[in-house]
Amino acid sequence: MSDHDELLARIQGVSRLAEFNQWLGLEVTAVAPGEAELVLQWKKELGQYSGFLHAGIQGALIDTACGFAAATLSGHVLASQFTVRCLRPAVGQSFRVVARVVKPGRQQIFTAAELYATDNGEEKLVASGDTLLVPVAS
């Protein structure tokens, strides 16, 4: 197994431990040192009152992708704080979130992410966010 395949398998294993990620049907589609990409297929249970992707799910995608990006460098991590900026209505058949470590550190890890929706074949940026994480003893 290549280093990349091992890293991908490790992060996919962490994701499987999270019951909520399983319910979502979240797929870890790509990783690299300091980076992670997740894909989620729309289902109606993910909607808010007007049928857009619930802001809480947008937050879950951003927070999770940021956590996985950090975990590629640091083992176990916990989010201290995260922010979601809702740029456009999150409407689509599938969603892709891409996260990266902006600044790693021993005490804290700064990360950022963008969330894209694919609606009728066209992909658009719908939200951005950032997460500050702390490494924890595993």
Contact footprint for a second copy (CB under 8 A) = 14-15, 17-23, 44-50, 54-57, 59-61, 63-64, 67, 78-88, 102-103, 107-108, 110, 112, 125, 128, 130, 132, 134
Q: How far is the CB of 129 from a second copy (least distance, A)?
A: 9
* Identity of the residue, 67 or 92, whose beta carbon is nearer to a second copy in the bound complex: 67
* Identity of the residue, 2 or 80, whose beta carbon is nearer to a second copy in the bound complex: 80
Q: Euclidean distance between the first and final Cα of the chain, in Å?
A: 24
* Identity of the residue, 2 or 19, whose beta carbon is nearer to a second copy in the bound complex: 19
* Identity of the residue, 32 or 78, whose beta carbon is nearer to a second copy in the bound complex: 78
Strands 122-135 and 77-86: antiparallel
Q: How far is the CB of 53 from a second copy (least distance, A)?
A: 9
Q: How far is the CB of 9 from a second copy (least distance, A)?
A: 15
